Amino acid sequence: MTDPRRIKPPMGPDNGWWWDMAAAGKLGIQRCAGCQTLRHPPTPMCGDCHSTQWDTVEASGAGTVCSYTVLTHPQFPGYQYPLIIILVDLAEGTRLTSQLVDCEPENVEFGLPVEMIIQEDPDGFKLPVFKPAGAA
């Protein structure tokens, strides 16, 4: 069980929607309304066409491990160790940093197919994390 003292990210009018989607069990991606480029994390402006107009799409949740690290030291309260942090290439083309669960540290590898699941902390905070694709 994860300790409720996980450090909470800032959530405001410009990125709160992403956490609202997570709370609803969905993984969101921001889409530029000017050039349709997908981007993550949510930012005020498109890095390609500089448009500040955007909407959102729901990701399939499928991706592959682009990079990973297994954390053992130092340890912050609120997290379970060893903690597997992964950089995921989503099927849609954007990347996000997340956590790999339901996987032993020795089994994580580059290119590992993963799928998103929603993890709920004891305090009700919901966070999209990933597990190996097809794992129970």
Partner 1 sequence: MRDVYLIGIGQTKTTKNAGIRGRYLAADAIEQALESAGLERDRISMLVTGNMMSGMLTQQQQLGALIADVVGLRGIEAATVESACSSGAAAARWAFMGVAGGFHDAAIVCGIERMTHAGREDITAALATAADWELEGCKGESFISLNAKLMKLYMEAYGVTAADFAHFAITAHDNGYTNPNAFLQKQIDFDTYMNSRMLVDPVKLFDAPPVCDGAAAVILACEDVARAAARSGLPLIKVAGSAIGTDSLALAERVDQLQLSGVALSTKRAFAQAGVSKDDIDLFELHDAYTIITSLSLEAAGFAEKGRGVHFGKDGEIALDGKLPISTMGGLKSRGHPVGATGVYQLAETYMQLTGTAGANQVPGAEVALIQNIGGTGATVISHVLMAA
Work out how close the CB of 108 gets to partner 1 at its nearest, in angstroms, rounded to a whole number.
Answer: 27
Choice from 1, 13, 74, 77 touching partner 1 (CB under 8 A): 13
> Which residues in the 19-48 window bind partner 1 by CB under 8 A?
43-47
* Between 14 and 89, CB nearer to partner 1: 14
**Residue 56 in the binding site for partner 1 (CB under 8 A):** no
**Residue 135 in the binding site for partner 1 (CB under 8 A):** no
Whole-angstrom Cα distance, residue 93 to residue 99? 18
* Between 52 and 67, CB nearer to partner 1: 52
> Which residues in the 109-128 window bind partner 1 by CB under 8 A?
none
Work out how close the CB of 38 gets to partner 1 at its nearest, in angstroms, rounded to a whole number.
Answer: 16
Beta strands in the chain (DSSP E): 28-32, 38-39, 54-58, 62-71, 83-90, 95-99, 113-120, 126-132
Structure-token match 């994860």, residue found: 2
Whole-angstrom Cα distance, residue 9 to residue 16? 10
Contact (CB, 8 A) for 31 and 53: no
**Residue 50 in the binding site for partner 1 (CB under 8 A):** yes
Whole-angstrom Cα distance, residue 19 to residue 25? 10
Cα 3 to chain centroid, rounded: 19
**Residue 1 in the binding site for partner 1 (CB under 8 A):** no
Using CB under 8 A as the criterion, which residues of the chain lie in contact with partner 1 when the complex forms? 7, 10-16, 43-47, 50, 52
